[in-house]
Amino acid sequence: MNEQYELRGACLDFARAAFGILAEDHVLPTPKYHRHLAVGRDYFGPDLMGLAEYKTLEAQLNDKYPNRFQDPLTRKHAQFASTFIFSFLEAAIARCAFSEDFEAGSSGVIESITELINVLDASSQEIICVRSVTHLTTVDGNELEIGGIKIIPESARYDDSAEHVCGEIPGAPSAWNRELPWRFDPPHALLVTRESVEDPGDFYGAGRLLSARLERFLRTIRILTSGTVQTAFEITGPSTLTSPMSPHLHEFGKTTLMGRALVRREVKLTGNEAQAIEAIGKIIDSAEVKRDRIVATSFDVAMKKFNAAHVQGSLFDQLVDLATALEAALIGENEGEGLTLRLCSRAAALLSQTDDSSTAIFNDVKQLYLIRSKLVHGGQISEKDLGNLFKKLSTMPQHGIEGHFGIALAHAVDRMSDLVRRAILARLCLAEGPQPKWPFAGGVAVDAQLSDDDQRRTWRKLWHDRLIALGVGESAKRARAAVDMLIPEEESQTR
């Protein structure tokens, strides 16, 4: 108890001295709307490290917590008392700014001292990853949780996102530094996942794993629903203001009004999707680990390029990525001869169904792959010629795109995305089992098999039935029509 009393006193003395220095430098009082300061950005650390009160507090922390701070340079993950001292100070400033009371004995300072001690005494710390996504919401507009991921629907208000993010990661504003990434491509939602980390040096590694967990969730959602869900930004950080880890921000290119998708297909979750998401996720994971001293497989390329096409950027780049993904999914190694014909034929044979004929798929792949080839191989193609190619696509809206080249291009990219999605599902199912029809590696005469009517039906039925058994039979069907950016999806369905 005496040690804790002395430590609390040292924290108070340091806060009092630091507040005095920062006030002289006109850093304090900080505005209520800029409460989260950062050493090296908003104030000069060495100005405070020379204080006698700082040295006393540092010595007490080193003495009381030798398991954390003793011989830091001999450890794999070094920790320093100075990191916690500045984190404590910035937490105290944030709380004091909110209450507009910068006295050393204020409730904001006392609360921050308690938090510092609790964090140092704890055997683990919770790390949280929050990702802002577009075109995703819940059916009833309420929060829900699926597989350890919380989905928080949001309004289009600028401060709605900030409020929700800060509710999960209190220190998040230090990461966006008064410039909250803004996006307007509704419906919006936040995806939240968390993990308790026992190794104090592995916070950033845990953050990467949490980010990968969210990416896996989105990847599966896109494959199951053909939703145009995109990530706007992601923030990873601790659940406390005081921590050795500072929150950090990653932007994905959708943080401007111009970042809006030209067409969209919303995803509305009910909360009953957990089993389907887990089932497809396991199939994907099993496909990814079936390798022996292989750096990458064609399936890896297909998945990577499919995901890359859902990051905001040039629509032409997305079309090239998707064409590469389709090729990786349906064309094996050493099959370069007659590639376009093979691709069209295999897609038509495997993906056709009642509402999406083999003829339509064959012609659509042919047109889209023609565009891709011209873009990649240096050919020239005019806007007029592209427009004429777009009109030949079976899913191109017949009205409303004349004179809107960008929207027509977006619909073309969306058609290719849906074909790639279904091709990935087909390959996953056909490569399953001890005796797969079409393994990811192996010499199967695919074109000879698919040239037979009975075999084509058998292969299609096999992967459709597998999805039905998993409870996701609807995923095999052609995606519903995408909606132009300015038309509410409910309204478009009545037109």
The answer to whether residue 281 is domain-embedded is no
pLDDT in tens, 352-401: 999 899 999 999 999 999 888 878 876 677 788 888 888 889 999 876 56
Cβ atoms of residues 220 and 267 within 8 Å: no
Full domain range(s) for residue 471: 290-492
* Domains in the chain, number: 3
The confidence score (pLDDT) of residue 18 equals 97
Residues 116 and 133 grouped into a single domain: no
Paired with 149 in beta bridges are 146
Residues 18 and 57 grouped into a single domain: yes
Maximum distance among all alpha carbons in the chain?
86
The answer to whether residue 284 is domain-embedded is no
3-state secondary structure of 149: strand
Residues 245 and 163 grouped into a single domain: yes
pLDDT in tens, 8-57: 999 999 999 999 999 999 999 998 888 999 999 999 999 999 999 999 99
Residues 35 and 175 grouped into a single domain: no
The confidence score (pLDDT) of residue 74 equals 75
Give me 349's structure tokens. 């044979």
The confidence score (pLDDT) of residue 136 equals 95
Residues 90 and 194 grouped into a single domain: no
The answer to whether residue 31 is domain-embedded is yes
Residues 149 and 111 grouped into a single domain: no
The confidence score (pLDDT) of residue 415 equals 96
The answer to whether residue 274 is domain-embedded is no
Q: Which amino acid is at 414?
A: D
Residues 138 and 86 grouped into a single domain: no
Quote the DSSP letter at residue 355.
T
Residues 338 and 240 grouped into a single domain: no
Closest residue by Cα to residue 190 from 156, 217, 150: 150
Handedness of CA 86, 89, 93, 95 (dihedral sign): positive
Cβ atoms of residues 90 and 241 within 8 Å: yes
Residues 146 and 107 grouped into a single domain: no
Rg (CA), the chain: 28
The confidence score (pLDDT) of residue 39 equals 95
The answer to whether residue 273 is domain-embedded is no
The answer to whether residue 55 is domain-embedded is yes
72: left (phi over 0), alpha (psi -120 to 50) or beta: alpha
Boundary-marking domain end, from 121, 149, 177: 121
Boundary-marking domain end, from 65, 97, 121: 121
Residues 200 and 139 grouped into a single domain: yes
- Say how far apart CA 167 and CA 466 lie, in whole Å: 41
The confidence score (pLDDT) of residue 400 equals 54
The answer to whether residue 463 is domain-embedded is yes
pTM: 0.90
Low-confidence residues in the chain, pLDDT < 50: 257, 491-495
Residues 334 and 471 grouped into a single domain: yes
Closest residue by Cα to residue 308 from 218, 190, 409: 218
The answer to whether residue 26 is domain-embedded is yes
- Say how far apart CA 465 and CA 44 lie, in whole Å: 65
Boundary-marking domain end, from 214, 230, 264: 264
Contacts of 323 (CB under 8 A, 6+ apart): 368, 369, 372, 416
The confidence score (pLDDT) of residue 168 equals 95
Residues 163 and 216 grouped into a single domain: yes
